[in-house]
C-alpha cells in the first residue's frame, strides 16, 4: 500500500463529488505538515487565526469526512483523545509518556512481519502501541543531569 500524495487525496475527493472548501483544504494541508498526530482541538487552535469563520464543528465534521474517504486515520493511542494521522499506509505509533508526542514507527520494525507475514491473512490495519520516553526527552533528561 503506497502513501497517497496530497494531490491524489484532493483529486480523490473531487472524483467522489466531495466539495473541497477552503477550510477543508486547509485542514488537509495542516495534517500533511504536522506529522505528530494533532487532535481536532490542536487543528482548530492552529487554524482559527487564519480562518476566523472556522468552527470546532467544521473541524470535527471535516475529520470525519476525511476518515470516511480514507484520507486520514484516527489514532486512539490515548484514552478519550483522538489524534489524526495524515499517513494512511500501515504503520505503528510510539507514544512518549513525558512530552505526549506520538511518533510513527515503521512496519518493518515489527517482529511478526519479520517472521514471515501473518500466516496468509491479509492485514488491513495493525494496532500496536509502544510507550516510553522519546529521543528528544531522553536528550533533555541527559542535559538536565549534566551541571
Ligand atoms: Zn518526549
Ligand atoms: Zn502515524
Kindly give the distance from the C-alpha atom of residue 37 to the centroid of ligand 2, in angstroms, as a whole number.
6
Query: In 3D, which of 112, 140, 114 has the Cα closest to residue 126?
Result: 112
Residue 106 has pLDDT above 90, yes or no: no
Top pLDDT among 110 and 96 is at 96
Q: What distances in angstroms separate CA 129 from CA 23, 92, 95, 126, one per listed residue? A: 31, 7, 7, 10
Residue 118 has pLDDT above 70, yes or no: no
Pull the grid cell for residue 106.
Answer: 515503521
Kindly give the distance from the C-alpha atom of residue 135 to the centroid of ligand 1, in angstroms, as a whole number.
7
Give the position of cell 505509533.
Answer: 93
Query: In 3D, which of 67, 83, 86 has the Cα closest to residue 3?
Result: 86
To 10 degrees, the CA torsion angle through 14, 83, 110, 8? 10
Q: Tell me the pLDDT band of 2, cut-offs 50, 70 and 90.
A: low
As a whole number, the mean pLDDT across the chain is: 86
Distance CA 128, CA 135 (A): 19
Kindly give the distance from the C-alpha atom of residue 60 to the centroid of ligand 1, in angstroms, as a whole number.
27
Distance CA 141, CA 144 (A): 5
Please give the domain boundaries of the chain with CATH numbers for all domains. Answer: 6-85 (1.10.10.10), 92-145 (3.30.1490.190)
Kindly give the distance from the C-alpha atom of residue 145 to the centroid of ligand 2, in angstroms, as a whole number.
31
Give pLDDT tens digits for 5-52: 999 999 999 999 999 999 999 999 999 999 889 999 999 999 999 999
Q: Tell me the pLDDT band of 72, cut-offs 50, 70 and 90.
A: very high
Q: Which residues pair with 67 in a beta bridge?
A: none
Amino acid at each position: 500500500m503506497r502513501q497517497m500524495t496530497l494531490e491524489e487525496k484532493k483529486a480523490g475527493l473531487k472524483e467522489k463529488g466531495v466539495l473541497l472548501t477552503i477550510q477543508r483544504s486547509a485542514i488537509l494541508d495542516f495534517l500533511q505538515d504536522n506529522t505528530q498526530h494533532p487532535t481536532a482541538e490542536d487543528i482548530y487552535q492552529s487554524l482559527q487565526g487564519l480562518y476566523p469563520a472556522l468552527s470546532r464543528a467544521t473541524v470535527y465534521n471535516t475529520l470525519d469526512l476525511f476518515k470516511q474517504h480514507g484520507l486520514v486515520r484516527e489514532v486512539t493511542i490515548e484514552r478519550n483523545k483522538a489524534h489524526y494521522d495524515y499517513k494512511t499506509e500501515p504503520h505503528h505509533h510510539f507514544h512518549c509518556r513525558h512530552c505526549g508526542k506520538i511518533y510513527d514507527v515503521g512496519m518493518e520494525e515489527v517482529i511478526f512481519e519479520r517472521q514471515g507475514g501473518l500466516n496468509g491473512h491479509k492485514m488491513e490495519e495493525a494496532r500496536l502501541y509502544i510507550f516510553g520516553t522519546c529521543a528528544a526527552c531522553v536528550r533533555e533528561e541527559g542535559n538536565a543531569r549534566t551541571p
